[in-house]
Every structure is written in C-alpha cells, then in structure tokens.
C-alpha cells in the first residue's frame, strides 16, 4: 500500500469508528441549527465523510447536484420525528451527516 493509500485507510478507519446509530430525536437540535446533511442511502456514509474532510469539492458538488447529499429537509425531519427513526450519523465539524438505510 502506498503512503497516500495508507493515509486514506487510516482516515476511513477513524471516521468509521466515529459513526453511530442514533435516534433522529436526539439530533433534532442539530437540525434546528442547520448543520445536518442527509446522505442518500446509495452512498457510503464513511466515504462521504472522508470526501468532506479532504475538501473534495468536485465530488461533493456532484453529489449535491444529484440530491445525494443535501440539508435534511423539513419534511424529512418531520417524517423521521413521527416515525421515531434511527439513523446512522457521524460528526464532521461543522456538519452532522445522517443516513437512513432502508431495512
């Protein structure tokens, strides 16, 4: 493994260790602050977090233009609240990335 690959692997491992299942209700204060980003279920949450850490604007812009990475909408927040939804989450300051995987 080359040095950049090793660094990517280390970063990915660190992010993975920081992910957690959490109820949406516990994250609502972050939603109210406007810092929650919804990660589409087709994307890997850890990979998205890694691209944000690395400030890869090309990839991030592409995901945003495809609505695969976007602020959590009011409608979705209400739905998750009503359903007492549990989501995967990771904090990549200033953002809280959330992802609801279909069962």
- Residue range 41-69, pLDDT digits in tens: 999 999 999 999 999 999 999 999 999 99
**What pLDDT, in 10s, does the model give residues 26-37?**
999 999 999 999
Q: How many CA atoms within 13 Å lie on the side-chain side of 76?
A: 15
Give yes or no for a contact between 31 and 3, defined as CB atoms under 8 angstroms apart: no
Which residues contact residue 79 at a Cβ distance below 8 angstroms, ignoring those fewer than 6 apart? 85
Q: Where are the domains of the chain?
A: 3-99
Whole-prediction pTM value? 0.89
CA distances from 51 to 11, 48, 76, 77, 93 (A): 10, 5, 24, 24, 13
């Amino acid at each position: 493994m080359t040095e950049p690959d090793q660094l990517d692997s280390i970063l990915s491992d660190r992010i993975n260790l920081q992910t957690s299942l959490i109820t949406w209700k516990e994250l609502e204060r972050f939603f109210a602050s406007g810092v929650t980003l919804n990660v589409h279920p087709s994307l890997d949450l850890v990979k998205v977090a890694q691209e944000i850490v690395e400030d890869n604007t090309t990839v991030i812009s592409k995901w945003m233009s495809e609505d695969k990475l976007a602020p959590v909408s009011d409608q979705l927040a209400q739905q998750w609240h009503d359903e007492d939804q549990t989501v995967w989450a990771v904090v990549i300051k200033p953002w809280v990335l959330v992802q609801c995987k279909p069962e």
